[in-house]
Amino acid sequence: MKRIGIILSIVIVIAAVFIFVNKSYYPSLPVDSLSARETIEKLNKSDEKIVEIAKDDKSIWYITKNEEDGILTVDENIKKMISTKGWEFKDKMGSGLFFEKDDEQLTVTTQMWTKKYVLIQVQNQFKEA
């Protein structure tokens, strides 16, 4: 009986270490190309506040840290990033930020991934411009 307890304890410790190392305790990402661990490492290794993590047919996905000021700081960082391509901020509604440039509209949405991280989805036309 004592052996079973020891073996069970070892299995639990190994599973806990595996989960911690692989960041399996984070929610899944909306993109399949990166794991949670790779995504966080990519952000931590970068000097940028917002880091591109994936691209698909419709969107570009970014990640940023949720600072102490909350989503307001995230929104300001997004506005700075988007304005570098000539887009002008027009409005915010819920988690969506709306920009305009040459009679085109660009929508950027934010999504709390965890308490510390925010995912940002930008329409592909941002990079095409």
The reported pLDDT for the residue numbered 75 is 92
- Indicate the helix (H) or strand (E) that contains 119: strand 117-123
Distance CA 51, CA 65 (A): 10
> Which helix H or strand E contains 101, and what residues bound it?
strand 96-101
Instruction: Give me the pLDDT at residue 4, please.
Output: 82
Query: Using one digit for the tens of pLDDT, what is the confidence trace for 62-79?
Result: 999 987 777 888 999 999
Torsion of CA 35, 39, 44, 46, to 10 degrees: 140
Give the residue-averaged pLDDT of 85-102.
93
Q: Residue 79: left if φ>0, alpha if ψ -120 to 50, beta else—which one?
A: alpha
For residue range 25-54, what is the model confidence (pLDDT) as tens digits?
Answer: 567 777 777 788 888 889 989 999 999 998
Residue bearing the bigger pLDDT, 28 or 89: 89
What are residue 117's phi and psi, to 5 degrees? Answer: -130, 145
Assign 19 a pLDDT band (cuts: 50, 70, 90).
low
Burial 39-54 (b: 16+ CB within 10 A, else e): bbeebeeeeebbbebb
Judge whether 43 and 26 are in contact, CB under 8 Å.
no
pLDDT at 117: 92
Q: Is residue 17's pLDDT more than 80? A: no
pLDDT at 62: 94
Domain ranges of the chain: 27-128
Is the pTM here over 0.85, yes or no? no
The domain at 27-128 falls in which architecture?
A: 2-Layer Sandwich (3.30)
